[in-house]
Structure 1
Amino acid sequence: MHRGKGMKFVGDSRIPAERKPNIPKDYSEYPGRTEAFWPNFLLKEWLVGAVFLIGFLIVTAAHPSPLEQQADPTNASYIPLPDWYFLFLYQFLKYEFAGGNYIVLGAIVMPGLAFGALLLAPFLDKGPDRHPTKRPIATGLMLLGFIATFWLTYESVSHVDYEQRSEQYGVKEEGEGPEINTEDPGYAVYEQNCLSCHGDALQGQGSNPSLLKTEKSVEEIKKIAQEGIGNMPAGMFNGSDEELEQLAQFIANAGEGEGSGEGESEGGSGH
């Protein structure tokens, strides 16, 4: 018998001759679940997320986050402010029963209960309907959370003077201020006595004023260095009369009249 003689090839009815496209399962028999997760539902979620992300990027590009001073453990006058997404908690802690002696209640217990309620919302409301009006528990918790977050954030922002903070704590851009002559003998005296409070470019730090454009005479600067002014105590300067003269001359001529400081006439704590 020759190989293949008498053999016939037949088709299997369980295997379709033509490949059919990927047709989603029919969910019409399941109320509230009338579309396939892939690709219908997932595509909608991706589109909504993409629109939100693009909008967020546009807002970020149009209104960059304000940068403030770098962390300085020696500057106790700096008042930190949380990022915008924590401002609602920052505002919440200002209320009587959420701060002070009740800080644990306001910082841990209440936020924990609030976020815990949002996490439990899917388990508290197991209804098959997807319409918000037919899911009162989940919808109510989400609306309550959104309204509370929005209102507390608004209250926090409305009580913050960002323009004043920008002037007081804003980062100085390179090339914005006048050039400081670090080779001047007075700068070496300044480093030993004043740099920790007024910065390496006399720009001021925190509540300590800038020493640029002081509009004070050499004699006035010498007197302030020895006797103090405002919050600055007397005796902050340690050096000889010659070094005091060098320091006063350096500060009086720093920036050659340019800069943004207001001197020490406002009772700053600088020297």
Structure 2
Amino acid sequence: MKKNAVIPYAIIASIGILMVIVLSTAGVFQRENIQQEAEGGEEQSAEEGESMDPEEIFQSNCMSCHGEDLSGSGSAPALTEVGADHSKEDIKKIIINGTDGGMPGGLVNNEQADKLAEWLSEKK
């Protein structure tokens, strides 16, 4: 009795084709999920990853130059009474745009700048 050598190859080929179809289908679904996350998930991840507490924003972005107690340093001015000299809007513009030769702008996003400016404007 002679075995037919074609049948094992046909089974292996069928299994291979089936696996390609299954993996392709899974890949399509994963791609759709990734695209949905990229479109709608960016806002969520930005909100989740960034603090909106002005004191935390200050600590992570401003404290190294302006000091832990807002007293300033040799290179950055004190902010202990910044609200007496500048309005909230002026402070926000400085936070967003920076100053010539001094503070760099763009260290925080617009919402964080607004919260930080409000908090600093109360320092009088």
CA contact (8 A) 2:98 2:104 kept: yes
CA contact (8 A) 1:203 1:212 kept: yes
The CA deviation at 1:219 is: 0.6
CA contact (8 A) 2:94 2:105 kept: no
Matched, 1:190 2:58: yes
Gaps of 5+ in 2: 1-51
- Which whole-Å CA distance do the structure 2 matches of 1:242 and 1:233 have between them? 19
- Which whole-Å CA distance do the structure 1 matches of 2:69 and 2:119 have between them? 12
Per-residue CA deviation, residues 110-131 of structure 1 (Å, 9 max, x unaligned), is xxxxxxxxxxxxxxxxxxxxxx
Of residues 219, 223, 244, the one that matches 2:113 is: 244
**Superposition map of 1:172-251 within 5 A:** 185-214=53-82, 215-239=85-109, 241-251=110-120
- Which whole-Å CA distance do the structure 2 matches of 1:245 and 1:187 have between them? 13
The one-letter code of the counterpart of 1:193 is N
TM-score normalised by the chain length of structure 2: 0.51
CA contact (8 A) 2:65 2:72 kept: yes
CA contact (8 A) 1:193 1:236 kept: no
| 1:7 equivalent in structure 2 | none
Larger radius of gyration: 1
**Superposition map of 1:90-105 within 5 A:** none
Gaps of 5+ in 1: 1-183, 258-271
Per-residue CA deviation, residues 174-209 of structure 1 (Å, 9 max, x unaligned), is xxxxxxxxxx92111111210000011110011311
Q: Percent identity among equivalent residues?
A: 32
The CA deviation at 1:252 is: 1.0
The one-letter code of the counterpart of 2:66 is H
Secondary structure at the aligned position of 1:200 is classed as: coil
- Which whole-Å CA distance do the structure 2 matches of 1:233 and 1:185 have between them? 21
| 1:152 equivalent in structure 2 | none
Identify, as 1 or 2, the structure richer in helix. 2
Per-residue CA deviation, residues 238-266 of structure 1 (Å, 9 max, x unaligned), is 23x22111100111112xx2xxxxxxxxx
Per-residue CA deviation, residues 41-90 of structure 1 (Å, 9 max, x unaligned), is xxxxxxxxxxxxxxxxxxxxxxxxxxxxxxxxxxxxxxxxxxxxxxxxxx
TM-score normalised by the chain length of structure 1: 0.25
**Superposition map of 1:62-211 within 5 A:** 185-211=53-79
- CA 1:234–1:208 in structure 2 vs 1: closer, same or farther (change >3 Å)? closer
The CA deviation at 1:236 is: 4.2
Which protein, 1 or 2, shows the higher relative CO under an 8 Å CA cutoff with sep ≥ 6? Answer: 2
Number of positions where the alignment pairs a residue of Structure 1 with one of Structure 2: 71
The one-letter code of the counterpart of 1:195 is M
